[in-house]
Structure 1
Amino acid sequence: MAVTKIPAETARQLLRPTWLRAGITTAFAFFTIIWHGNAWFVDFWDGNDLTVARFVLAGFLVLAASMIWEYAKQEATPQVLQGALAAGAAAWLVAGVVIILVGSTTPVALAAGLAFLVLGVAELYAGLKLRAEFVPARDHVLLGAIGAATGIGLIAWWGLDIHGVIGIAGMGMILSAVLLLINAAGMTHEVRRSA
C-alpha cells in the first residue's frame, strides 16, 4: 500500500495550529504524568488538588479549543471537518468555563467527559467521511477515537476523585499528544521538502 503524502500547501496552512495543539496537549499530558505517583508534587499544593486540577484542565481545554478552531478555519480544511471541529472547539470552550465555575469533582468529570466525547465523535465522523479525499483525515479518525474513548471513560466512572479524573484524561491526551506530534512533524517535513 502506497503512502499518501499531505499536499505541501495543505501542510503549510495546517502546520501552525497542529504544532500548537500538539504542544498544548503535550504540556497537559506531562502535567498528568507528574501529577500521578508524585507525593511531593501533590503535597506542594497544600490540599488544593481539586483547584489546581480544575484550573489546569480548564486551561488546557480553552487553549486547545482555540487551536482546534484555528485549524478549522483554514482554507485547506474541508467544510465537513470545519463544522465538526467548530462544534468540538465550542464544547471544549464551554467545558473549560464550566470547570472553572464548579467546585466539586463530579461536575468536572462530566463536563470534561462530554467535551472529549463531542469533539471525539465529531472528529471521528468527519475523518471517516473525508478519509478518501483529505489526507489528514486519517489522523482525525484516530484522534476522534481516542477523544471519544476518553470522554466515555470520564462519564462512565463519574464517581472518581480528581486524581482519577486527571488520570483518565491524561491517558487519552498522552496518546493524542504522540499522534499530534507525529502529524505535525510529518507536515513540517512536507513543507520543507516543497521549499
Structure 2
Amino acid sequence: MPAVKTPVETAVAVWKPVLIRALVAAIFGFSTIFLREPGVPLLKYGVAAYLVFSGTAMWEYLRREPVPEAMRSPLSMAAAAWMLGAIVLLFLSDTVVIAWVAAAALALGGVAELVAWARHRREFVPARDQLYTGLVGVGTAVGLLLFQHLDPHGLMGIIGGGAIIIAVVMAISGFGFRHDAGSEADSPASGGFPGGGAEDRSR
C-alpha cells in the first residue's frame, strides 16, 4: 500500500488494474463464505477461475508504461504460474492433488511478487504492494499444504481467506492511487481493461 504520494503519471496508469485485481479477489473470497457444501468440481473450477482472472489482472498491470521493464519479468512469472495452475486444475479430481497444485501456483506467484518487491520497491512505489500480496500467496500455499486433507469447503476457505486479504490490500492501494491521480484519473492515459495503456505507450 502506498505510504507516500505516488507520482501522478504512475498513479493514473496503475489504479484501474490494481482495483480490478481487488475486485477479482473480493468476488472469489466472499463467495467462499456462502458456499456451504461445494463439491470437487466447484472447488477446481472456482479456484481455476480465480487464478485465471488474477493472472489476467496482473498481465494488465505489468504492461502499463510506468512499470519498470525489469519488474515485468517476475510479475509475468507470477501470472504464468497462476495460468498454468488453472489449466492443470481442470484435469484433477482428487482434493489432495488439487490442494498441492493450487499451493504450487500460489507459492510460485507469491515468491515472484516478493522478488518484484525486493528489487523495485524503492524506485517504483506500487511495487511495495507486492510485499503483502506475495506474503499472502506464500502463506496461503503453506496453509493448503498443512491442511491438504480438508474437504472442498475447507480448502476453498483457506484460499478464500487469502483472497479477501488481497482484496483489502489492493482496494486500499487502488483507491490511494486513484486519489493521487487526482483530476487526471479518468484521462485517456488511465486506459481500460483489457487493452488499456495503449495511449501511454504511444506517447
| TM-score after normalising by structure 1 | 0.88
CA-CA distance at 1:160 after TM superposition:
2.1
3-state SS in 1 of match to 2:125: coil
Matches within 5 A, 1:52-131: 52-131=42-121
Q: Which has the higher contact order (CA 8 A, sep 6+)?
A: 2
Q: Distance in 2 between matches of 1:157 and 1:110?
A: 10
Q: Distance in 2 between matches of 1:20 and 1:92?
A: 16
Provide, for residues 63-99 of structure 1, a one-character-per-residue CA deviation record: whole Å limited to 9, x for no partner: 1111111111112111332111100100100111111
Q: Is contact 1:124-1:140 (8 Å) kept?
A: yes
- In structure 2, give the amino acid aligned to 1:86: S
- In structure 2, give the amino acid aligned to 1:31: S
Q: Is contact 1:114-1:155 (8 Å) kept?
A: no
Aligned equivalent of 1:187: 177
- In structure 1, give the amino acid aligned to 2:171: L
After alignment, is 173-182 or 77-86 more displaced?
77-86
After alignment, is 48-57 or 132-141 more displaced?
48-57
> Where in structure 1 are there 5+ consecutive unaligned residues?
43-47
Aligned equivalent of 1:6: 6
3-state SS in 2 of match to 1:169: helix
Aligned equivalent of 2:162: 172
3-state SS in 2 of match to 1:136: helix
3-state SS in 2 of match to 1:101: coil
- In structure 1, give the amino acid aligned to 2:177: M
3-state SS in 1 of match to 2:106: helix
CA-CA distance at 1:181 after TM superposition:
0.6
How many pairs does the alignment contain? Answer: 183
- In structure 1, give the amino acid aligned to 2:157: G
Find out whether 1:144 has 2:134 as its counterpart: yes
Q: Distance in 2 between matches of 1:78 and 1:162?
A: 39
CA-CA distance at 1:182 after TM superposition:
0.5
Aligned equivalent of 1:22: 22
Q: Distance in 2 between matches of 1:83 and 1:114?
A: 19
Q: Distance in 1 between matches of 2:136 and 2:72?
A: 19
- In structure 2, give the amino acid aligned to 1:97: I
> Where in structure 2 are there 5+ consecutive unaligned residues?
186-203
Q: Is contact 2:12-2:184 (8 Å) kept?
A: no
Q: Distance in 2 between matches of 1:160 and 1:92?
A: 22
Q: Is contact 1:106-1:159 (8 Å) kept?
A: yes
Aligned equivalent of 1:132: 122
Q: Is contact 2:109-2:134 (8 Å) kept?
A: yes
CA-CA distance at 1:21 after TM superposition:
0.9
Q: Distance in 2 between matches of 1:117 and 1:18?
A: 20
Root-mean-square deviation (Å): 1.5
Provide, for residues 100-134 of structure 1, a one-character-per-residue CA deviation record: whole Å limited to 9, x for no partner: 11112112111110111011111112112212111
The share of aligned pairs that are identical, in percent, is 35
- In structure 2, give the amino acid aligned to 1:50: V
